[in-house]
């Protein structure tokens, strides 16, 4: 009675009352007490398999309906900046093409465990997808300095060593990026006038837009801002690692129509990025007149 009450989220007394009502309906006892335990009567033994079969059929039918609903739902578990700066500006195109698909987006920095988490697609940074998972590479790990137009002095040529007079903006998730870039530029020992650090790259990008300093950020995240002139890249030098940004998934979660539609859409978006030159080191960043001097190859 106690276990049945727990499963049904009611009190043991409520279960006993329902059993009594059922016994009144059939006109015979279905349970008998034997000491501190309960056992089925002969009538209960006859009724049990028929009711069990009926309950199993109801459960199967409910699960079938639930799976149909699941096939129209896509659960994404992504890095916050990847969501805000890469996915969200593009998501309208997917939604317009597939308005019937319910998209659920969660953001976090923690690793995903497909065995335990109810997720279809997650993000990952590395040289290749983790063992046991499938994945697709969205873009390379390339980063460069960006700032608001007019932040830096225009007279003369602005060189990497001039960054010593500026405030550098950091993402606390990628504190080494500025040092990597400065070493590539030949000024690895540079000490800037000031530093501001933020919880993720998206906040650092916004700080650059607001004119707080010069941010070092992933190229793919600021491509549109550079194109529109909201931000400028003062140097031609782009640093990179061997890693890339991936979407990954378990092979057991890639059979739904929602997943297949999303995968095809992502492939198309990656192709559009290639056409725009956004996944190549030598692709366009911003208009030539937005440059402030230096050219480092």
In this predicted model, what pLDDT tens digit does every residue of 168-195 receive, in sequence order? 999 999 999 999 999 999 999 999 999 9
pLDDT at 33: 85
Report the distance separating Cα 175 and Cα 155, nearest Å.
31
pLDDT at 285: 35
Q: Which has more confidence, 97 or 153?
A: 97
Which pLDDT band, with edges at 50, 70 and 90, does 64 fall under?
low
Strands (E), the chain: 31-34, 37-40, 73-78, 102-107, 121-126, 134-146, 167-171, 194-198, 214-218, 239-249
Evaluate if residue 105 carries a pLDDT over 70: yes
Evaluate if residue 243 carries a pLDDT over 70: yes
pLDDT at 37: 84
**pLDDT, tens digit, 9 for 90 and up, residues 65-78:** 665 555 688 999 99
Share of the chain above pLDDT 90, in %: 59
Q: Which has more confidence, 259 or 294?
A: 259
pLDDT at 270: 94
pLDDT at 256: 83
Which pLDDT band, with edges at 50, 70 and 90, does 280 fall under?
very low
Using the 8-state DSSP alphabet, how is residue 279 labeled? T
Evaluate if residue 83 carries a pLDDT over 80: yes
Which pLDDT band, with edges at 50, 70 and 90, does 63 fall under?
low
Which pLDDT band, with edges at 50, 70 and 90, does 293 fall under?
very low
Evaluate if residue 277 carries a pLDDT over 70: no
Please give the model's pTM, rounded to 2 decimal places: 0.70
| Choice among 188-197, 203-212, 272-281, 286-295 with the minimum mean pLDDT | 286-295
Checking DSSP bridges between strand 239-249 and strand 134-146, what pairing results, if any? antiparallel
Asked if residue 133 lies in contact with residue 272, where contact means CB atoms within 8 angstroms, the answer is: no
**What values do phi and psi take at 126, rounded to 5?**
175, -175
Which pLDDT band, with edges at 50, 70 and 90, does 294 fall under?
very low
Question: Tokens standing for 172?
Answer: 């606390």
pLDDT at 232: 95
Domains of the chain as residue ranges with CATH: 2-70 (1.10.10.10), 73-140+244-276 (3.40.190.10), 142-241+279-290 (3.40.190.10)
Mean model confidence pLDDT for the chain: 86
Which pLDDT band, with edges at 50, 70 and 90, does 8 fall under?
confident
């Amino acid at each position: 009675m106690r276990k049945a009450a727990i499963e049904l989220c009611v009190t043991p007394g409520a279960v006993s009352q329902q059993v009594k009502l059922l016994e009144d309906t059939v006109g015979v006892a279905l349970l008998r007490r034997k000491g501190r335990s309960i056992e089925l009567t002969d009538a209960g033994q006859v009724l049990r398999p028929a009711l069990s079969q009926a309950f199993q059929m109801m459960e199967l039918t409910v699960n079938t309906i639930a799976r149909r609903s699941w096939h129209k739902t896509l659960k994404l578990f992504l890095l916050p900046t990847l969501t805000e700066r890469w996915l969200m500006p593009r998501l309208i195109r997917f939604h317009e093409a597939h308005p019937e698909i319910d998209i659920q987006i969660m953001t976090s920095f923690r690793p995903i465990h497909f065995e335990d988490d109810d997720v279809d697609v997650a993000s990952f940074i590395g040289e290749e997808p983790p063992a046991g998972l499938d994945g697709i590479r969205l873009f390379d790990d390339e980063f460069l300095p960006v700032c608001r137009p007019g932040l830096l002095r225009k007279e003369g040529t602005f060189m990497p060593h001039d960054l010593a007079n500026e405030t550098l903006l950091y993402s606390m998730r990628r504190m080494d990026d500025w040092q990597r870039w400065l070493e590539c530029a030949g000024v690895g020992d540079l000490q800037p006038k000031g530093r501001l650090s933020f919880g993720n790259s998206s906040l650092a990008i916004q700080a650059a837009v607001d004119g707080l300093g010069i941010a070092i950020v992933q190229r793919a995240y600021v491509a549109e801002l550079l194109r529109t002139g909201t931000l400028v890249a003062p140097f031609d030098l782009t640093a990179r690692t061997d890693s890339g940004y991936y979407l990954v998934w378990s092979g057991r979660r890639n059979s739904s129509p929602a997943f297949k539609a999303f995968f095809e859409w992502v492939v198309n978006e990656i192709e559009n990025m290639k056409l725009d030159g956004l996944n190549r080191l030598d692709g366009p960043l911003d208009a030539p007149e937005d440059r402030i001097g230096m050219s480092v190859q």
